[in-house]
Amino acid sequence: MQPYHSNVMASAKNPASIHLPIRRAVIENVRPEIDGGRFPIKRTPGEKVEVTADIFADGHDLLSARLLYRVQDQPDWSIAPMREVVNDSWVGEFRISRQERHIYTIQAWPDAFKSWVRDLKKRQDAKQDLSLEFLAGAELVAQAAARSSSTENAAALREFARQFRELHKDDPDTAFAIASSEELALEMARCPDLAAATIYERELAVEVDRERARHGAWYEMFPRSCTNDPTRHGTFQSCIERLDYISEMGFDILYLPPIHPIGEVERKGKNNSTERLPEDAGSPWAIGSSLGGHKSIHPQLGTLDEFKKLLAEARRRGIEVALDLAFQCAPDHPYVREHPEWFRIRPDGSVQYAENPPKKYQDIYPLNFESEHTEALCEELKSIALYWVRQGIRIFRVDNPHTKPFAFWEWLIAEVRGECPDVIFLAEAFTRPKVMYRLAKAGFTQSYTYFAWRNTKWDLTEYFRELAQTEVREFFRPNLWPNTPDILTEYLQYGGRSAFVIRLCLAATLGANYGIYGPAFELFENRALHSGSEEYLDSEKYQIRAWDIRRPDSLKDLVAKINAIRKDNIALQSDATIRFHEVDNDQIIAFSKASDDRSNSIVVVVNLDPHHRQSGWIELPLDYFHLDMHQEYQMHDLVTEARYLWHGSRNYVELDPQRMPAHIFRLRRRVRSEQDFDYFL
């Protein structure tokens, strides 16, 4: 069969002739490197990129290696040293300073000078005659002087070479001292011999996002439910009135479900009923009606100017507004009339509605990415995102991205970020792991996770080890949600108020990015549509709800406290350092995050059992936290302000879910002051 005639060259071809100079150093197994360099890793300014590689050469020479890195559009490389760790494995790192795409690669070469110094020491130890060796060294140093671009460096090297020649026979001790001196090593390192250096065959990219991509607390809220009156439709103005409440809780991002006109045709009633009443508000995700589509605003919410006022008022409180990108249409969306070619047509001429057989979603028409009209469709979808960017939106939560092609997202996200690099895309894909990871590789800044369904210590530990301690961490930024309008887990349904506290503490500390869907969450709304369902009863997706946000049992003060702790502790603003710690009780999970120098170290201990008091012994790695085996240290509970003195690696914890099921400890080391009393820093 002849299905496909290749005109691609085979990847592994025989070299035609020996290439000179022979580049003896080999650089392989470079990490991070996503899919052979096909995708970038992700960072924010201030974060470091630690690069490891296997580097070696034939023979016994010592090697030198360094990281080369630069902003993509700048020609000049910066340099960071690499050092051998063990067994031909090398490491180096650089820090991202600007919010621009960076490139990195590795350079390595056999270092004749370093090898000469090493061998010289061995010969000296064996009491061999070194006179010829000093002449060989003089030659190496003189060659370095000749290639140096600095006259001062060259002069210094020429002087060293002269000394070797002068002393080589008569004063080997002085010559040896010079050869092994720091001064000579430094001058030599200024002009390495790179003529036969190896450059790694790929240049690897770092996509750099703004800091908000790395950490933020999200609050999801239905604008139409902001009035405290289920019969009165909320507006952007009522959202503005609720901003102080949200701001007091310390949220960074206010995420609104779609704000566009809601379809009238096939509109669903309350609790997703196919029989709707005239007053039913419909699902905001059934986008488009005679009143407009994805670039329009649902009139009951207000005008574009009022929307912009909401953005401004939010911004004044340090809050960004995130919008929903839900690329699908209600039957009466203008696209259906104006661009029927963007949809699939059934054999009877009707437009194909969404299906997951045998389920039918007649109120939703999916877009068709497999027609000859796809290019125009893609351009239109891009124009939707850019329209809202121009209104001031910098964060999109993308609805069901896994039902549109990966190549479409890779293109769209690159296009939008090409115009505005600040834009953040959060992928709402709850599907198979490889699909979720591929969306992240394709460009999504952040991703929803399986967190909502990971409730046991084993499940949480396994999952977060995968997310934070494997290559996944390089491209997939988790955003943890204990609930969403689609997800009311069994754990929350049956665990009572403590369950909400437990899940809040876990989400806000395991995840530098996390969010809650409120006010349902802080008011621990836990009524499901029916037993076995994760849908809310009287879900806001289909109706306006009134929430008594001033209820005295609200979790809002705890939320505020925890968000404040997140802001005060940089350890919680990154997921790079998550470590799990042993506790001899499967109901208690313990983990930590710490700043690079451990000056900010947070240890979180959570009782996962919402019903019973649990206790156990926790084991902390003292070395890692720079703690002394013989010195006590203070565990400062940032929620309750209680302070415990701990000693050694093994300490007792006890947590009563009826009071507080979690400790969020700041670990404080003892400092002996001049005033002769101790305190903890």
- Binding segment for a second copy (CB under 8 A), chosen from 72-80, 497-505, 508-516, 528-536, is 72-80
Q: Return the residues of window 360-389 that contact a second copy according to CB under 8 A.
A: 369-370, 372, 374-375, 378
Q: Are 666 and 625 in contact (CB under 8 A)?
A: no
Name the minimum Å distance from CB 671 to a second copy: 40
Q: Return the residues of window 469-528 that contact a second copy according to CB under 8 A.
A: none
Contact between 103 and a second copy per CB under 8 A = yes
- Binding segment for a second copy (CB under 8 A), chosen from 64-72, 237-245, 297-305, 312-320, is 64-72
Name the minimum Å distance from CB 193 to a second copy: 10
Structure tokens at 608: 């996962």
Among 88, 280, 466, 471, interactor with a second copy by CB under 8 A: 88
- Binding segment for a second copy (CB under 8 A), chosen from 288-296, 328-336, 354-362, 579-587, is 354-362
> Is the CB of 121 or the CB of 308 nearer to a second copy?
121
Contact between 126 and a second copy per CB under 8 A = yes
Among 59, 278, 532, 552, interactor with a second copy by CB under 8 A: 59
Contact between 596 and a second copy per CB under 8 A = no
Among 50, 183, 201, 548, interactor with a second copy by CB under 8 A: 201
Q: Which of 399, 474, 522, 575 is catalytic?
A: 399
What is the DSSP code (8-state) at residue 471? G
Angle at 302 between CA 246 and CA 331, to 5 degrees: 105
Nearest residue to 374 via CA among 413, 333, 327, 331: 327
For residue 194, count other CB atoms closer than 10 A to its CB.
13
Contact between 86 and a second copy per CB under 8 A = no
Measured in degrees and rounded to the nearest 5, phi and psi for residue 82 equal -120, 150
Among 44, 64, 107, 289, interactor with a second copy by CB under 8 A: 107
Name the minimum Å distance from CB 393 to a second copy: 21
Name the minimum Å distance from CB 525 to a second copy: 31
Q: Return the residues of window 34-53 that contact a second copy according to CB under 8 A.
A: 35-40
Give me the 600-629 binding string for a second copy, x by CB under 8 A, dash otherwise: ------------------------------
Q: List residues bridging with 121 in a β-sheet.
A: none
- What is the residue whose two structure tokens read 């007091």? 248
Would you put residue 281 in left (φ > 0), alpha (ψ -120 to 50) or beta? alpha
For residue 369, count other CB atoms closer than 10 A to its CB.
17
- How far, in Å, CA of 41 to CA of 463, rounded? 20
Give me the 5-34 binding string for a second copy, x by CB under 8 A, dash otherwise: xx-xxxxx-xx-xxxxxxxx-x-xx-----
> Is the CB of 437 or the CB of 680 nearer to a second copy?
437
- Binding segment for a second copy (CB under 8 A), chosen from 100-108, 214-222, 312-320, 618-626, is 100-108
- How far, in Å, CA of 633 to CA of 307, rounded? 51
Contact between 169 and a second copy per CB under 8 A = no
What sign results for the dihedral spanned by CA atoms 568, 571, 574, 575? negative
Q: Are 526 and 481 in contact (CB under 8 A)?
A: no
Q: Which of 266, 313, 428, 540 is catalytic?
A: 428
Q: Are 515 and 485 in contact (CB under 8 A)?
A: no
Contact between 129 and a second copy per CB under 8 A = no
Strands 678-680 and 41-43: unpaired
What is the DSSP code (8-state) at residue 467? H
Element (H, E) at 111: none
Give me the 322-351 binding string for a second copy, x by CB under 8 A, dash otherwise: ------------------------xxx---
Name the minimum Å distance from CB 532 to a second copy: 19
Nearest residue to 116 via CA among 62, 170, 196: 62
Crossing angle for the helix pair 131-147 and 151-167, to the nearest 10 degrees: 170
> Is the CB of 151 or the CB of 673 nearer to a second copy?
151
Cα(first)–Cα(last) distance of the chain, in Å?
73
Name the minimum Å distance from CB 396 to a second copy: 18
- How far, in Å, CA of 575 to CA of 447, rounded? 13
Q: Which amino acid is at 596?
A: D
- What is the residue whose two structure tokens read 């609790």? 271
Name the minimum Å distance from CB 207 to a second copy: 8
Give me the 414-453 binding string for a second copy, x by CB under 8 A, dash otherwise: xx--x-------------xxxx--x---------------
> Is the CB of 115 or the CB of 391 nearer to a second copy?
115
Size of the site for a second copy (CB under 8 A): 97
> Is the CB of 376 or the CB of 645 nearer to a second copy?
376
153, 158, 163, 164 alpha-carbon torsion, rounded to 10°: 100
Among 46, 85, 95, 128, interactor with a second copy by CB under 8 A: 128
Q: Are 491 and 611 in contact (CB under 8 A)?
A: no
Contact between 404 and a second copy per CB under 8 A = yes
Among 46, 48, 50, 79, interactor with a second copy by CB under 8 A: 79
> Is the CB of 131 or the CB of 300 nearer to a second copy?
131
Nearest residue to 526 via CA among 491, 551, 502, 553: 491
Q: Are 516 and 507 in contact (CB under 8 A)?
A: yes
Nearest residue to 284 via CA among 304, 269, 270, 298: 298
Query: Cα separations (Å) of 380 from 295, 399, 664, 676?
Result: 11, 17, 47, 71
Active site residue 399: yes
> So which residues are the catalytic ones?
399, 428
